[in-house]
Amino acid sequence: MAALISVIVNYGGTFILVFQAAKVAGLSPEMTASWIWSISIGVGVTGVWLSFRYREPIITAWSTPGVAFLVSALAVTPYPEAIGAYMISAAGFVVLGLSGMFERFVQLIPPGIASGLLAGILLQFGISAFGGAKVDPLLVVVLFAAYVVLRRFTSRYAIVGILAIGLIYLICTGKADFSTIQLAIASPVFVVPEFSLHALLGIALPLFIITLTGQYMPGMLVLRNDGFKTSANPILTITGLGSLLAAPFGSHAFNVAAITAAICTGKDAHEDSAKRYIAGIVCGMFYIVVGIFGVTLAALFLILPATFIATLAGLALLGTIGGSLANALTDPKGRETALITFLATAANVTLLGVGGAFWGLVAGLAAHLLIHGKFRREKWNAGM
185 pLDDT more than 50: yes
**For residue 84, what pLDDT band results from cuts at 50, 70 and 90?**
very high
Return the closest-CA partner of residue 66 out of 95, 84, 89, 94: 89
Distance (Å, whole) CA 12 – CA 26? 23
Say if 163 falls within a structural domain: no
For residue range 302-352, what is the model confidence (pLDDT) as tens digits? 678 888 888 888 888 888 788 888 888 888 888 899 999 999 988 888 777
Distance (Å, whole) CA 375 – CA 369? 7
**For residue 298, what pLDDT band results from cuts at 50, 70 and 90?**
low
Return the closest-CA partner of residue 344 out of 334, 356, 329, 330: 356
DSSP structure class, residue 354: B
Report in angstroms the alpha-carbon separations of 255 from 41, 74, 111, 238, 258.
13, 21, 22, 9, 9
Q: At what angle do helices 356-372 and 335-347 cross, to 10 degrees?
A: 160
Distance (Å, whole) CA 364 – CA 232? 21
165 pLDDT more than 70: yes
Q: Is residue 139 within 8 Å of 305, Cβ to Cβ? A: yes
- Which pLDDT score is estimated for 375? 58
83 pLDDT more than 90: yes
Say if 50 falls within a structural domain: yes
Q: What backbone torsions phi and psi does residue 10 show, to the nearest 5 degrees?
A: -65, -50
Q: Is residue 338 within 8 Å of 80, Cβ to Cβ? A: no
43 pLDDT more than 50: yes
120 pLDDT more than 50: yes
59 pLDDT more than 90: yes
82 pLDDT more than 60: yes
Q: Is 373 exposed, middle or buried (0-12, 13-18, 19+ CB in 10 A)?
A: exposed
Q: Is residue 49 within 8 Å of 277, Cβ to Cβ? A: no
Q: Is 289 exposed, middle or buried (0-12, 13-18, 19+ CB in 10 A)?
A: middle
SS3 content of the chain, % helix, strand, coil (to 5): 75, 0, 25
DSSP structure class, residue 59: -
- Which pLDDT score is estimated for 40? 93
Say if 123 falls within a structural domain: yes
**For residue 245, what pLDDT band results from cuts at 50, 70 and 90?**
very high
Q: What backbone torsions phi and psi does residue 284 show, to the nearest 5 degrees?
A: -60, -40
Q: Is residue 216 within 8 Å of 231, Cβ to Cβ? A: no
Say if 196 falls within a structural domain: yes
- Which pLDDT score is estimated for 380? 47
Q: Is residue 193 within 8 Å of 249, Cβ to Cβ? A: no
Domain of residue 48 covers 2-130+175-308+315-372
Say if 209 falls within a structural domain: yes
208 pLDDT more than 70: yes
Range with the lowest mean pLDDT among 120-124, 145-149, 242-246, 378-382? 378-382
Residue ranges of the alpha helices (H) in 250-355? 259-265, 277-293, 295-303, 306-316, 318-330, 335-347
Say if 324 falls within a structural domain: yes
Number of domains the chain contains: 1
Distance (Å, whole) CA 319 – CA 204? 36
DSSP run (H or E) holding 60: strand 60-62
Q: What is the pTM of this model?
A: 0.78
Say if 89 falls within a structural domain: yes
- Which pLDDT score is estimated for 377? 52
Arithmetic mean of pLDDT, 342-363: 83
Average pLDDT, rounded, for the chain: 85
Say if 153 falls within a structural domain: no
The length of the chain is 384
Distance (Å, whole) CA 288 – CA 166? 25
Range with the lowest mean pLDDT among 9-18, 74-83, 150-159, 370-379? 370-379
